[in-house]
Every structure is written in C-alpha cells, then in structure tokens.
Structure 1
C-alpha cells in the first residue's frame, strides 16, 4: 500500500483557480462600474451576457470554497481556526453591507456572497461526513427553488432562503438556495479527489505542482477576501477620480 500523502497548508492549484475567479470578477465589476457611471451601455440585470457571467463567477467561487473545505478537513483543520476564518468572513459581510448602503442606498447588499458564505460554510462543514450523499443534496439545493410551489418567501426576513418568485431590490443577492449547491458540489469533488490521491500515494489533481506561469494567479488567490473587499472601492474610486479630473481639465 502506498504511504499516505500529507497535504501542504496551501494548495497552489486551488489558489490559482481562486485567483482566476478573482480576475474574472474584477473584470466583471469594472464593466459594471463603467455602466453605473454611464460610461458604457450595458444591462447587468437582464442581459444574459452579463447575468450568465455572474452565475458562472459566483458558482466558481463557491465551488472553490467547497474544495477548500475538503482540503481543510483532510489537513485536520481545528474548529478554532475555522471559527476565526468564519468571523473574518462574517465581519467582511457587515462591511459590505455598510459600504453598499453608502453607495446604493435602499438597494444595499443585505445578503450577498459573503453573507451567503457565512451561512453556507458551517452547513458544509456539518454535512461533509455525508460523503457521496453530498451530491444529491447539492442537486436538491439547485432544483428546489425551481420546483418550489409554496409561499413566496420574499422580504428581507426570509429572502436569504432563496424561495421567492423574483430577486429582491438589491445590488447582490446570494441566498442559501440554490447557491449551497455549488459549494456542496465542490466539497464532494474535493473529497473524491483527495481520497483518490491518498489511495494512489500521489498528490493528485489538487495537491500537484503548479506551472511557474500560473504562480501569480496562486498568489492572488491566497488573498481572496482582501481582494474582494478592496477591489470595488479601488475601481470605483479610480474611475470617479478620473472622471473628476477629466471634467475639471475640460472645464478650465
């Protein structure tokens, strides 16, 4: 039998995948900011070119979060370390709510991606021992909102569940359903990949080396929470400063 593979604290391939998702998100939000400032014409709320990208980016982020939870369990992550990371995410979610209130007023982000992750991560950690049972649970999370025939649970007290007829008036909304599905899928996939690597005695798809050309993506992916919090203030602040300078110079 091959010796067990000891996972490093960082998985560069997973970090690089997360870094790719961050770059895609930054490009998406840059286009959104241009549209918000009326510098380009784009409908981010109805055009499938943009709504489809949002779904893809968010799904990739949550898939990475599930893969990360699988790796953390395989590394024997203690509950205290998980709790510290959870507190960072929950605190960042509150900052996003406060900042978006200043920016968008009543359309502020009351349950966006960080709020959703703060709810989903403990659920994923609790569900991880289900093993292959995670796969039908992930499918149920995606399908249930589409098949829901019960009451429309709209309103900010319950819209975090995702069982509603339409998205609430907010700039970002990532409810439990269907978005728990991609995270559970990532958790299941990560556990399968790591179990196979352990049986073969090799690092496997997640633990293998990363080409040098992709190392910058991995470095970016290690700072995902900081990048998420800072990129929009920097993008919007830079664009607004540039507009002010342009208008100032044209008016003089």
Structure 2
C-alpha cells in the first residue's frame, strides 16, 4: 500500500493561529481521507482502483503528500516567528515521533511483509529538526535548496542507500516494500518549499476569517490534524473490512474472480453448485487473511502465496 500521511498542526500560542492555514490543512485531510478510503476499498476487493499504476492516482498521491509537507514547512515558520520555544518544539516533536512509532507498530502487526518504517510522520519529525536550520535564512536560499533536494532525490540512486540503515534517506536503487515510504530525498523539498514561501510571504493567511459550519469544521480538523491522522485510517479500514464481510462477493473485483474461478472449476468436471460454493469460500478466506489485495493486483508475496494455497485447501470440497 501506498499510503498517504499528514502534517500535524504546529503548536502556536493561543490566539496566534491563522485560520486560513488550518482550513488549507483541513482540505488536505479530506483529500487524504478520500485516497486512503480508496486504498481500503481496493484492499478488501470493494473496488479496483489502480493506485500503484495509474498515472492519475500516482499524481494524486504526490499532490496530496506535497500539500501536507508544504503546510508543515509553513507551520514551522509560523511557530518560530517570535523565536524558538524549545519546550514547545520538543513536545510537538515528541507527539509526532510517538505517532510515527504507533503507525510502525500497527503496520508491522498487520502487514509484516510491507511495514511502514519511514512514512510521512517519520519524515515530518526528521524534517522539522532539519528545517530549524532554514527558518531564519533568506527565502531564496531555502527555495533553491528545496529544488536541489527534489532534483537529487528524483534523478540519483546509489546501491549504498539500499542498506536497511540508509533507506530512509532515499536515493535507493530499488524501492523498499512499504505501505507508506516517504524518504528524506526528494520529499524534504516540500517542507523546505513551505519554509521558503512562508519567509517570502510573512503575512500568509492573515486577516482571513473562517465562516460557516463547513469552514469551521475544516479549521478544527486542521488544528487537530495529528489526531485525525491517527484515528481516521483505522476507522476507514474497519468500515471497509465490515463491508467486505457483509457482501464479500458483490464487488466488481469479486464478481470477476467468481466468474473465472467457477468457469475453471467447471471445466475440471465439478458441479456448478459445488464450484460456486468453493469459489465463494476461497474469496472470503482471501479477504479474511489479508491476501485479497495482492491477489487482485497479481502481486502475491511468498507469504500471500502460502495464504492462497491454504485458502484453497480449506475450501476444497470432497
């Protein structure tokens, strides 16, 4: 999976926030939730979105992720514009790091073959520390550095960085199997670009009032973006799982599987009723064991292949 993450709101002093920035972050959260919901639906066979191959989906991921990193950079400048408060910065950094650790732990438990070891929260934690070196530099210097980071990160690759200890930097020759990999290069370019833009436009978002229930809701989500990030995906994942359990054979992907499976089974001389029951059982087992997404995408790992064989064996009728 390629998951998309968020940039947690900066810890600004009470009354010093800029609601327009919070609304922008809230809009990005909506886009991120839509993407994650699409991934969940595909994972459980409720839809057939080609998230890893369709250029439009790949572009959507890049835009959504870039928007959060850009806002993280802007927030870092706003949080330090009156000087760095070490205690506040470290508390925020600790919350982001704790969130990153929780995401990694959950991903290792659910997806041991493609865990999240350096996702967006990990990236934001590291980029926030690096970003402190740029919050007082001229905007032109920071924007130039952002461009160089993107250029190097998208054009260079060295076997040295394939090491498990260095993959988080980027520049790998083979992308690691991870559900949300956001390496330092090229993505720190987004954070640095946000820092540069906030330095170039110090009054960004000032004087903009948020009105209406929708605007206030977006601003609230933007203020609590870390909590929204940590809670939304388990909620969406659970909803998709429940939907798959309630109607495991009523989705487009499942219907295609059922038709092909039953046809193949009948050609082997098995009755239609037995084939239908067996194929429904196999599909349900694949969903239950978390193998369905890889099966539909035709990219089963060795572990998934064993899961497929186990499902077939468990559902075979005498």
What is the Cα deviation at residue 77 of structure 1?
4.2
Are the aligned partners of 2:115 and 2:179 in contact in 1 as well (CA < 8 Å)?
yes
Aligned partner of 2:178 in structure 1 is 170
Say which SS state the counterpart of residue 9 (structure 1) adopts: coil
Alignment match of 2:189 (pick from 181, 193, 201): 181
Partner of 2:242: 241
CA gap of 1:21–1:104, structure 2 versus 1, over 3 A, is: same
Residues 205-227 of structure 1, C-alpha deviations (whole Å, 9 max, x = no match): 32222241322211110110001
Deviation by residue 1:68-115 (Cα, 9 ceiling, x = unmatched): 011111143401100000000001000000111122112010110001
**Counterpart in the other structure of 2:67:** 60
Quote the Cα distance in structure 2 between the aligned partners of 1:90 and 1:242. Answer: 33
The answer for the alignment partner of 2:138 in structure 1 is 131
Q: Distance in 2 between matches of 1:58 and 1:177?
A: 14
Alpha-carbon separation, structure 2, partners of 1:102 and 1:49: 30
- Quick check: 2:46–2:244 contact (8 Å CA) kept in 1? no
- Cα offset for 1:240? 1.5
Cα 1:146–1:241, aligned 2, differ >3 Å: closer, same or farther? closer
Q: How far apart in 2 are the matches of 1:7 and 1:131? A: 28
Q: 1: CA distance between counterparts of 2:49 and 2:65? A: 20
Cα distance, 1:167 vs. partner? 1.9
What do you get for the CA RMSD once the two structures are aligned?
Answer: 1.9
**Structure 1 segment 91-170 matched on structure 2, within 5 A:** 91-132=98-139, 133-148=141-156, 150-170=158-178
CA, structure 1 residues 130+76, in 2 after alignment: closer, same or farther (shift >3 Å)? Answer: closer
Distance 1:190 1:7, change over 3 A: farther
Going from structure 1 to structure 2, the CA distance change for 1:149 and 1:116 (only over 3 Å counts) comes to closer
- Contact in 1 for aligned 2:70/2:192 (Cα 8 Å): yes
Structure 1 residue 239, shift from structure 2 partner: 1.9
Distance 2:231 2:169 in 1: 28
TM-score (norm 2): 0.70
Report Cα offsets for 1:115-167 as digits up to 9, x if no partner.
11111100001222222210111011100123326445113211111111232
Q: TM-score, normalised by structure 1?
A: 0.87
Rounded Cα–Cα distance in structure 2 between residues aligned with 1:68 and 1:57: 17
Q: Which has the larger radius of gyration?
A: 2
Residue 123 of structure 2 aligns to a residue whose secondary structure is: helix
1:7 positional shift:
10
Question: Unaligned 5+ residue runs, structure 2?
Answer: 1-12, 249-318
Deviation at 1:238, TM superposition (A): 1.7
Q: 1:88 aligns to what?
A: 95
Relative CO higher for 1 or 2, CA cutoff 8 Å, sep ≥ 6? 1
Q: Partners of 2:231 and 2:14 in 1: how far apart?
A: 30
**SS of residue in 2 equivalent to 1:206:** coil
Match of 2:206 in 1: 207
For residues 72 and 24 of structure 1, the distance between their equivalents in structure 2, rounded to whole angstroms, comes to 25
- Mapped partners of 1:238, 1:206: distance in 2: 36
Instruction: Determine which structure has the larger helix proportion and give its number.
Output: 1
Tell me how many residue pairs correspond in the alignment: 234
